[in-house]
């Protein structure tokens, strides 16, 4: 499955942008406007409507690009600010709240607001620094210089090449999205997997070039393994963060901040995010799954049968709006803080609620074998709600059949689960391959039912049954 994360692996035009009406640390009002209105405002504030159209278009491309660079790199938000860009020309671009817009500039922006400049082979919008060229000079584009070039017959692309080099392209018709925040929504930790983990690994490995105390992560495969945990912990230590080894929101944005600085993503000399560096896919079928999200979704489906306010959800491993709403409904139902996130309190409460149901209701009411077993072979390395139910049943069975090792239900088919499956298969005359296929699955469910709801005579039965 292709990896596509707006703000990390793809560039997306935000619907709105929040502007700080002053320098970054200056107390000032924040205003949120549509992206296209912001570009029109800046262009009307920075440019003269009497300039040749080629000069206006070249400048508007630059205005869009520098704005998207701020958004893409989360330049200010990764530093703890609650805005995307300032109106200070010392740092960004000139924006005047409630100003009028020139008609010809408005028309051009309507055409090109989702077109931006990139360096060839790079992903992020290029930091198209510019200045007026008369009162102030810079290493980027001279606005008044664009007028002279336009009068000489240069087209917008040639004007941009004149100042930024021939190795640039103009990306056209970038997709428009909502408010972009790259944080995955819940902390990343040991055992998690998915595209956010993979991108964190890529960023940490890049940072480690400048900070060699951070161990290199290998393989970079989207699995939050012990090496990744060590790299995160060392990163946190270096940058004065509590070294938990967990990528919470603060750590995530600090990684983004340092990565942006190391790659010089907001400079004319940007090393850039090379498109070739962005992994195309994860080497796993769970490419969009943080493992326990799947399990939480299964929990929510079980709980929805007993709480009218909780809606069932798709078990897709994605912490999307549907799943968040059901998590919120659960949090309200059991009177815990409403966050919409799978925090420790929510996880523990949900886990205990579902275990209580599993331990008191007939398995036929909640096992959902048609959902959990669909020609799937559960074996060493498997993860998800199906594994959890297998473990839950085997854990209960092992309290009566002492030759079956005890299993801790965690949704991950590890060596202990494999050993318990093999012991179960040996006891009941099945092929002892440690794999739960249809035959083993059916027998586990049958034994669980007999032990919990039958006469429990099964305890005395022999292996040869």
Say whether both 29 and 63 belong to one domain. Answer: yes
25 lies in some domain: yes
pLDDT at 284: 39
Say whether both 268 and 141 belong to one domain. Answer: no
Q: Which of 249, 277, 305 is the last residue of a domain?
A: 277
184 lies in some domain: no
Biggest CA–CA distance in the chain, Å, is: 97
Mean pLDDT of 346-362: 71
* CATH number for position 437: 1.10.101.10
Say whether both 326 and 451 belong to one domain. Answer: yes
Say whether both 376 and 443 belong to one domain. Answer: yes
9 lies in some domain: no
pLDDT at 459: 47
Q: How far is CA 441 from CA 236, 379, 381, 447, in A?
A: 44, 12, 17, 10
Which range among 102-116, 149-163, 299-313, 362-376 shows the weakest confidence by mean pLDDT? 362-376
Residue 154 pLDDT greater than 90, yes or no: yes
Residues near 253 by beta carbon (within 8 Å), at least 6 away in sequence: 74, 77, 78, 79, 80, 183
Q: Which of 28, 29, 36 is nearest to 114 (CA)?
A: 36
pLDDT at 150: 94
Say whether both 245 and 311 belong to one domain. Answer: no
185 lies in some domain: no
Q: What is the pLDDT of residues 76-90, one digit of tens each?
A: 988 888 899 999 988
* CATH number for position 264: 1.10.101
Say whether both 201 and 151 belong to one domain. Answer: no
Mean of per-residue pLDDT scores for the chain: 81
Q: Which residue has the higher pLDDT, 424 or 393?
A: 424
pLDDT at 429: 92
Which range among 171-185, 199-213, 276-290, 310-324 shows the weakest confidence by mean pLDDT? 276-290
Say whether both 232 and 156 belong to one domain. Answer: no
315 lies in some domain: yes
Q: Which residue has the higher pLDDT, 202 or 342?
A: 202
Range of the domain at 81: 16-171
Q: Which of 78, 319, 63, 261 is nearest to 182 (CA)?
A: 78
- pLDDT above 70 covers what percent of the chain? 82
Which range among 88-92, 358-362, 428-432 shows the weakest confidence by mean pLDDT? 358-362
pLDDT band per the 50, 70, 90 thresholds, residue 270: low
Residue 432 pLDDT greater than 50, yes or no: yes
pLDDT band per the 50, 70, 90 thresholds, residue 143: very high
Q: Which residue has the higher pLDDT, 209 or 358?
A: 209
pLDDT at 141: 92
Question: Which long-range contacts link 76-80 to residues 24+ away (Cβ below 8 Å)?
Answer: 76/20, 76/24, 77/181, 77/253, 78/253, 78/254, 78/256, 78/257, 78/260, 79/253, 79/257, 80/253
46 lies in some domain: yes
Tell me the range of 47-51, 355-359, 433-437 where mean pLDDT is highest: 47-51
Q: How far is CA 16 from CA 67, 72, 179, 233, 321, in A?
A: 12, 13, 7, 35, 20
Q: What 3-state DSSP class applies to 77?
A: helix
CA distance 282 to 194: 8
Residues near 402 by beta carbon (within 8 Å), at least 6 away in sequence: none
pLDDT at 205: 87
pLDDT band per the 50, 70, 90 thresholds, residue 181: confident
Say whether both 156 and 304 belong to one domain. Answer: no
pLDDT band per the 50, 70, 90 thresholds, residue 425: very high
Say whether both 295 and 258 belong to one domain. Answer: no
pLDDT at 357: 67
Residue 104 pLDDT greater than 90, yes or no: yes
The length of the chain, given as a count of residues: 465
CA distance 158 to 146: 10
Say whether both 246 and 369 belong to one domain. Answer: no
Tokens of 55: 């000069």
Say whether both 257 and 296 belong to one domain. Answer: no
Q: Which of 171, 187, 219 is the last residue of a domain?
A: 171
**Do 295 and 388 contact (CB within 8 A), yes or no?**
yes
Q: Which residue has the higher pLDDT, 317 or 15?
A: 15
pLDDT at 358: 62
Q: What 3-state DSSP class applies to 347?
A: helix
pLDDT at 399: 84
List, in sequence order, every beta strand (DSSP E) within 357-419: none
Q: What is the pLDDT of residues 275-297, one digit of tens each?
A: 555 555 444 333 333 446 767 87
pLDDT band per the 50, 70, 90 thresholds, residue 105: very high
Which range among 78-87, 215-224, 260-269, 368-377 shows the weakest confidence by mean pLDDT? 368-377
pLDDT band per the 50, 70, 90 thresholds, residue 462: very low
217 lies in some domain: yes
CA distance 76 to 65: 16
Say whether both 229 and 102 belong to one domain. Answer: no
Tokens of 167: 């190795």
Q: Which of 277, 304, 331 is the last residue of a domain?
A: 277
Q: Which of 410, 408, 455, 446 is nearest to 427 (CA)?
A: 446
Residue 455 pLDDT greater than 50, yes or no: no
176 secondary structure, DSSP code: B
Domain count, the chain: 3
pLDDT at 232: 96
Residue 375 pLDDT greater than 70, yes or no: no
Which range among 1-5, 133-137, 177-181 shows the weakest confidence by mean pLDDT? 1-5
286 lies in some domain: no
pLDDT at 308: 81
Mean pLDDT of 350-361: 69
């Amino acid at each position: 499955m292709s990896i596509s994360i707006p703000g990390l692996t793809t560039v997306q035009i935000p619907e709105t942008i929040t502007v700080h009406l002053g320098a970054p640390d200056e107390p000032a009002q924040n205003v949120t406007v549509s992206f296209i209105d912001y570009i029109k405002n800046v262009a009307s504030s920075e440019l003269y409507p009497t300039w040749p159209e080629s000069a206006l278009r070249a400048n508007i491309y630059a205005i869009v690009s520098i704005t998207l660079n701020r958004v893409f790199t989360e330049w200010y938000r990764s530093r703890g600010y609650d805005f995307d860009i300032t109106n200070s020309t010392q740092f960004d671009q000139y924006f005047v709240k409630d100003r009028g817009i020139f008609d010809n500039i408005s028309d051009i922006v309507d055409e090109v607001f989702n077109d931006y400049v990139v360096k060839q082979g790079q992903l992020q919008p290029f930091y198209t620094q510019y200045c007026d060229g008369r009162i102030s000079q810079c290493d980027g584009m001279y606005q008044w210089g664009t007028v002279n070039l336009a009068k000489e017959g240069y087209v917008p692309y040639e004007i941009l090449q004149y100042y930024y080099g021939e190795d640039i392209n103009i990306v056209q018709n970038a997709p428009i999205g909502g408010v972009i925040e790259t944080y995955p929504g819940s902390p990343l930790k040991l055992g998690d997997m998915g595209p956010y983990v993979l991108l964190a690994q890529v960023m940490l490995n890049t940072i480690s070039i400048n900070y060699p105390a951070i161990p290199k992560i290998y393989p970079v495969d989207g699995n939050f393994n012990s090496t990744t945990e060590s790299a995160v912990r060392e990163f946190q230590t270096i940058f004065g963060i509590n070294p938990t080894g967990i990528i919470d929101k603060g750590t995530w944005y600090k990684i983004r901040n340092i990565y942006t600085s190391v790659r010089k993503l907001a400079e004319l000399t940007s090393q850039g995010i090379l498109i070739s560096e962005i992994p195309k896919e994860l080497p796993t079928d769970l490419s969009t799954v943080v493992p326990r999200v799947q399990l939480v979704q299964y929990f929510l489906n079980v709980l929805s049968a007993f709480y009218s306010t909780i809606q069932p959800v798709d078990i897709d491993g994605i912490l999307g709006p549907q799943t968040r709403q059901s998590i919120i409904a659960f949090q309200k139902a059991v009177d815990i803080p409403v966050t919409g996130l799978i925090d420790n309190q929510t996880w523990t409460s949900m886990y205990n609620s579902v275990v209580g149901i599993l331990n008191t209701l007939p398995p036929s009411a909640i096992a959902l074998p048609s959902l959990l077993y669909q020609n799937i072979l559960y074996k060493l390395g498997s993860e998800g709600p199906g594994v959890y139910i297998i473990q839950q049943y085997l854990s209960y069975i092992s309290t009566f059949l002492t030759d079956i090792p005890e299993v801790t239900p965690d949704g991950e088919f590890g060596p202990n689960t494999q050993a318990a499956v093999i012991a179960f298969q040996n006891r009941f005359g099945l092929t002892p391959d440690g794999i739960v296929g249809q035959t083993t699955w059916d027998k586990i469910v049958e034994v669980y039912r007999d032990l919990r709801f039958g006469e429990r005579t099964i305890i005395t039965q022999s292996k040869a049954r």
